[in-house]
A and B are shown apart, each in its own frame.
Chain A
């Protein structure tokens, strides 16, 4: 048994003459959480929907749990879980009735009460889903994604439109799944979400994978070099340095006083990402 959950090799998806996904390759290890980051329309959803088996690819190879997802049979679909981007389909039945029904579709489902508890809906379990708030409804979606006890869970922009409080609750649910060893692939355009949850990330822009690395490393060494900024003679100055402490000491010596509004920071994922987007816009 291999330790690769998802293998994507030179995947391309064309719509007419447009390459929505353009020759991307990456792999996800079992137990890993992989984040596909990118702006709207970059190709994130197309990629994840190909991996979920909803869309056919134009070229390239895709293996999900060792199988071609587009041809995936019932046994294959019992091993994956999918949380759709926006769902408006549920509503008339209660949270519990719906989860019980979906549990009955799987060979080895999780306990319904456990799942309801995990997504923090115990107090709403007997309420019709349409009467829940948007955030609560989305937690039902997550519950349905995990009810079949999947080895691999796909989440497509799971927290878009959530308020910060609800996003944090959602992250807690995902962390519990991570702790249980579930492999997770999620797409997002929130950088903090990628930093909070991801082991590794890929950044996709205009259908191309422009970066692929551990979340803490992505963008390469150069973009991660600390930035020292200060005000000198009324002008904002900034420099990058691998030795920021030494740089600041020199700066103090040169100025003969404390630099005004001194700031030293290591670029976050967000800085790296924005720099990449800038690079694209300049091109």
Chain B
């Protein structure tokens, strides 16, 4: 009489489709999460188009588009994970979505497969658009060495999953669906300013650098500068090095600790 429950993996795949359809029909997420880095890239490229971001002593010229492309790619990865999921899950916890799911036979693993799938796919499409618009149309150019493409790939993967677990953790903070955006966005925006997205990281006071170094964004941005800027720019980094192993370690720790933390603390509904 009892039929077997649909598999956790199969339901997870179905969730990815459901989440993506919902994402593309939500104007807020399409605007503030999906299009925002592209808009910022256009704004910065145009606003500073007369400026040279190069190193004249070494005869290196860098346009505004070239200089801001890695920053906006890093920011896109970060908000696709942290801001998107932080707002999304906080809203779902407070508007009844999670309660409805809690009353259905879905496994939390399937639910998170849907979230990670959505974050991965939207983040990837966003990355491709930034590469095409920034690299080709705005003339920033794209890396030619395979090594740099490989680095871009692993930073994207580690960056987006570590940002996603930061978002999941933050989703526990808002107390209502309406306040979700206003609670999640400001701290993440501050983090963007202190992590070397809009402002040059090496020129920030040391204590701010130390705080920013605790979060994934600073490391994603650093890795992206390695991928897109001339090698001589390593001199502008802390210690004069790209420190890619540091990038890998911090992002991996974030992912592992964050996943364990989320698995231990996640609840479908608000505490009774």
Given A54-B269, A82-B103; A101-B18 close (CB under 8 Å): yes
Given A80-B103, A92-B21; A104-B14 close (CB under 8 Å): yes
Q: B148 to chain A: which residues have CB within 8 Å?
A: none
A10 within 8 A of B: no
Contact assessment for B100 and A75 in the assembled complex, using a CB-CB cutoff below 8 Å:
no
Q: Of A53, A78, A93, which contacts B25 at CB under 8 A?
A: A93
Contact with B along A46-80 (1 / 0, CB 8 A): 00000011111000000000000000001101101
Q: A144 to chain B: which residues have CB within 8 Å?
A: 100
B144 within 8 A of A: no
Q: A55 to chain B: which residues have CB within 8 Å?
A: 272
**Residue from A86, A88, A89, A92 with most neighbouring chain B CB atoms (10 Å):** A89
Report the minimal beta-carbon distance from B111 to chain A, rounded to whole angstroms.
10
Contact assessment for A102 and B104 in the assembled complex, using a CB-CB cutoff below 8 Å:
yes
Q: Of B2, B22, B103, B177, which contacts A53 at CB under 8 A?
A: B103
Contact assessment for A88 and B5 in the assembled complex, using a CB-CB cutoff below 8 Å:
no
| Alpha-carbon distance A89/B26, docked complex (angstroms) | 13
Contact assessment for A105 and B105 in the assembled complex, using a CB-CB cutoff below 8 Å:
yes
Report the minimal beta-carbon distance from B100 to chain A, rounded to whole angstroms.
6
Q: Of A75, A93, A97, which contacts B105 at CB under 8 A?
A: A75
Contact assessment for B4 and A148 in the assembled complex, using a CB-CB cutoff below 8 Å:
no
Given A55-B272, A92-B22; A77-B104 close (CB under 8 Å): yes
Q: A77 to chain B: which residues have CB within 8 Å?
A: 103-105
Q: Of A78, A80, A84, A108, which contacts B99 at CB under 8 A?
A: A84
B6 within 8 A of A: yes
A220 within 8 A of B: no
- When C-beta atoms are compared, the residue in chain A nearest to B27 turns out to be A92
Q: Give B67-124 interface residues, CB cut-off 8 Å to A.
A: 92, 95-97, 99-100, 102-107
Q: A56 to chain B: which residues have CB within 8 Å?
A: 272
A106 within 8 A of B: yes
Q: A89 to chain B: which residues have CB within 8 Å?
A: 92, 95-97, 99-100
Q: Of B17, B26, B272, which contacts A92 at CB under 8 A?
A: B26
Contact assessment for A54 and B102 in the assembled complex, using a CB-CB cutoff below 8 Å:
yes
Q: Give B1-53 interface residues, CB cut-off 8 Å to A.
A: 2-6, 11, 14, 17-18, 21-22, 25-26
Report the minimal beta-carbon distance from B246 to chain A, rounded to whole angstroms.
40
Q: A88 to chain B: which residues have CB within 8 Å?
A: 95-96, 177
| Alpha-carbon distance A178/B123, docked complex (angstroms) | 48
Contact with B along A88-113 (1 / 0, CB 8 A): 11101100010001101111100000
Contact assessment for A84 and B5 in the assembled complex, using a CB-CB cutoff below 8 Å:
no
- Interface residue count on the A side (C-beta < 8 Å): 30
| Alpha-carbon distance A67/B60, docked complex (angstroms) | 72
Report the minimal beta-carbon distance from B121 to chain A, rounded to whole angstroms.
17
| Alpha-carbon distance A101/B97, docked complex (angstroms) | 14
Given A93-B18, A148-B104; A107-B6 close (CB under 8 Å): yes
Q: A255 to chain B: which residues have CB within 8 Å?
A: none
Given A78-B105, A82-B103, A89-B97; A104-B11 close (CB under 8 Å): yes
Q: Give A150-206 interface residues, CB cut-off 8 Å to B.
A: none
- When C-beta atoms are compared, the residue in chain A nearest to B25 turns out to be A92
- When C-beta atoms are compared, the residue in chain B nearest to A76 turns out to be B105
Contact assessment for B269 and A74 in the assembled complex, using a CB-CB cutoff below 8 Å:
no
- When C-beta atoms are compared, the residue in chain B nearest to A15 turns out to be B272
Report the minimal beta-carbon distance from B185 to chain A, rounded to whole angstroms.
21
Report the minimal beta-carbon distance from A112 to chain B, rounded to whole angstroms.
14
- When C-beta atoms are compared, the residue in chain B nearest to A54 turns out to be B269
Contact assessment for B6 and A106 in the assembled complex, using a CB-CB cutoff below 8 Å:
yes
| Alpha-carbon distance A105/B106, docked complex (angstroms) | 6
Q: Of A54, A97, A107, A108, which contacts B103 at CB under 8 A?
A: A54
Report the minimal beta-carbon distance from B239 to chain A, rounded to whole angstroms.
47
Contact assessment for B5 and A78 in the assembled complex, using a CB-CB cutoff below 8 Å:
yes
Q: A82 to chain B: which residues have CB within 8 Å?
A: 100, 103
Contact assessment for B103 and A87 in the assembled complex, using a CB-CB cutoff below 8 Å:
no
Q: B106 to chain A: which residues have CB within 8 Å?
A: 74, 105
Q: A108 to chain B: which residues have CB within 8 Å?
A: 3
| Alpha-carbon distance A106/B1, docked complex (angstroms) | 14
Report the minimal beta-carbon distance from B179 to chain A, rounded to whole angstroms.
15
Report the minimal beta-carbon distance from A75 to chain B, rounded to whole angstroms.
6
> Besides the contacts A74-B106, A105-B106, what 20 more A-B pairs have beta carbons closer than 8 Å?
A54-B103, A74-B105, A74-B107, A77-B104, A77-B105, A78-B5, A80-B103, A84-B99, A87-B100, A89-B96, A93-B22, A93-B25, A97-B21, A101-B14, A101-B18, A104-B14, A105-B14, A107-B6, A108-B3, A144-B100
Q: Which residues of A contact B (CB under 8 A)?
A: 52-56, 74-75, 77-78, 80, 82, 84, 86-90, 92-93, 97, 101-102, 104-108, 128, 144, 148
Q: List 19 A-B contacts (CB under 8 A).
A: A53-B102, A54-B269, A74-B105, A74-B107, A75-B2, A77-B105, A82-B100, A87-B96, A88-B95, A89-B95, A89-B96, A89-B100, A93-B25, A102-B104, A104-B6, A104-B14, A105-B104, A106-B6, A107-B105
The 10 A-B residue pairs whose C-beta atoms are closest, nearest first, are A89-B97, A82-B103, A107-B3, A92-B25, A89-B96, A78-B105, A74-B105, A77-B105, A89-B95, A87-B96
